[in-house]
């Protein structure tokens, strides 16, 4: 299977070789942020591939970004610590004013500023984004923000956050109207109207709850037009789904690579376990599923780069890639037997990490609902 962007992939592999399993296992035990890894990616220019050259980035397309994240995950590393910097930046790039882009994008490209937090989900809204209640009230040259967000990753490690909030009450006739996007300076906000509460989960994902209590945000930090924020966020969500699908492809490759090698090396009953079709066939099926899913991801990325509608394709890419990675993860555990549960093999860590992607950033069932209603013309089920 030929690889796209071979030079980028090789460079990412070399960088990831500096951060072996032991590095990630230590972080996992301490629930620590991979600062050194993120800094290395930043210095290598990998987190600014989508930022135009005019602002200090590489100006490449989404295909290059998928190659970066796929190789990070295939190498046994994890791009979740920083992948938001790629797709969240797009909201600023596409909808920010010239002054906003000039002020922030060059510093994001160099790593002087981290734009890694994406504040959308709320406790009482979940994936029904039109029901968010976090409200930003205009007061002269500022907005006063009150409300809560949940499952917001990297908030403790980001300088900036793209925040979706209501600026007018929900209108049942136009549910997606009345939402706006603010660029929040986390350095100033924390302790001054913003409280960040860590949420401990089964994986080291730096997940938090955010509480806004009369947080003041300058009106000049409004991205685009007031009331049109929902559409702006949807633009970023398509990129997010495609990039995370690429991470899933990388995870699947990791599991297949490790399990295939183990099946050749592990000798039971006097022969390698890979001689048994009961071991071979799951490996082969995992490879087939991963290869098929990668083609769907490439197609979605190509549509996105061409500026074509790709909501359905982005959703389908995320679904098939997450299912391919989960099957490969299960197969890798089964192939390794008891050793699959041992920390030193890194299978159990990656097993926990890749399970997330059938739930976030959008669940498998909601993707199926989207395809049923938007493609097959079925009546809405909710």
Q: Are 297 and 246 in contact (CB under 8 A)?
A: yes
Give residue 126's pLDDT.
81
Following CA atoms 64, 67, 69, 72 in sequence, which dihedral angle do they give, to the nearest 10 degrees? -130
Q: Which residue spans within the chain are E strands per DSSP? A: 115-119, 135-139, 142-153, 160-166, 179-185, 194-198, 207-218, 222-223, 267-268, 271-272
- Indicate the pTM of the whole model: 0.96
Question: Which residue from 249, 236, 231, 365 is spatially nearest to 317, judged by alpha carbons?
Answer: 249
What is the pLDDT at residue 2? 67
User: Do the Cβ atoms of 127 and 139 come closer than 8 Å?
Assistant: no
In order along the chain (382 residues), what is the average pLDDT of each group of 10 residues? 88 98 97 95 95 96 96 96 86 95 96 94 90 97 98 95 96 93 97 97 93 98 96 89 97 98 98 97 98 98 95 97 98 98 97 95 94 96 82
The alpha carbon dihedral of 44, 237, 373, 359 has a sign of: positive
What would the DSSP string read from start to end of 179-206? EEEEEEEHHHHBTTTEEEEE---SS---
Question: Catalytic amino acids?
Answer: 240
């Amino acid at each position: 299977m030929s690889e796209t962007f071979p030079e980028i992939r090789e460079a990412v592999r070399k960088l990831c070789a500096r951060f072996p399993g032991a590095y990630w296992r230590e972080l996992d035990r301490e629930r620590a942020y991979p600062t050194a890894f993120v800094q290395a990616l930043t210095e290598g220019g990998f987190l600014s591939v989508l930022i135009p050259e005019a602002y200090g980035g590489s100006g490449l397309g989404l295909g290059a970004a998928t190659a970066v994240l796929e190789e990070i995950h295939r190498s046994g590393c994890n791009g979740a610590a920083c992948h938001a910097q790629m797709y969240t930046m797009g909201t600023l790039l596409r909808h920010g004013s010239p002054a906003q882009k000039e002020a922030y994008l060059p510093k994001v490209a160099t790593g002087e500023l981290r734009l890694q937090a994406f504040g959308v989900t709320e406790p009482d809204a979940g994936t029904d984004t039109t029901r968010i209640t976090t409200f930003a009230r205009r007061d002269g040259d500022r907005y006063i923000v009150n409300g809560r967000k949940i499952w917001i990753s990297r908030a403790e490690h980001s300088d900036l956050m793209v925040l979706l909030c209501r600026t007018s009450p929900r209108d049942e006739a136009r549910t997606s109207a009345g939402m706006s996007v603010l660029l929040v300076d986390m350095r100033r906000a924390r302790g001054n109207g913003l409280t960040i509460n860590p949420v401990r989960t089964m994986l080291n994902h730096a997940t938090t709850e955010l509480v806004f209590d009369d947080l003041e945000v300058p009106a000049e930090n409004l991205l685009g037009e007031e009331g049109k924020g929902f559409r702006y966020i949807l633009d970023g969500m398509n990129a997010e789904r495609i990039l995370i699908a690429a991470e899933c492809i990388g995870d699947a490759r990791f599991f297949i690579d490790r399990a295939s090698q183990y099946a050749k090396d592990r000798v039971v009953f006097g022969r390698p376990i890979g001689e048994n079709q009961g071991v071979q066939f799951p490996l082969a099926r995992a490879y087939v599923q991963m290869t098929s899913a990668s083609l769907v991801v490439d197609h979605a990325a190509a549509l996105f780069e061409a500026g074509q509608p790709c909501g359905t394709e982005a959703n389908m890419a995320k679904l098939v890639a997450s299912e391919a990675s989960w099957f490969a993860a299960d197969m890798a555990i089964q192939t390794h037997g008891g050793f699959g549960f041992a920390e030193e093999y890194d299978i159990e860590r990656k097993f926990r990490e890749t399970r997330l992607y059938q739930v976030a950033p959008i669940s498998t069932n909601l993707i199926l609902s989207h395809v049923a209603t938007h493609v097959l013309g079925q009546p809405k089920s909710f």
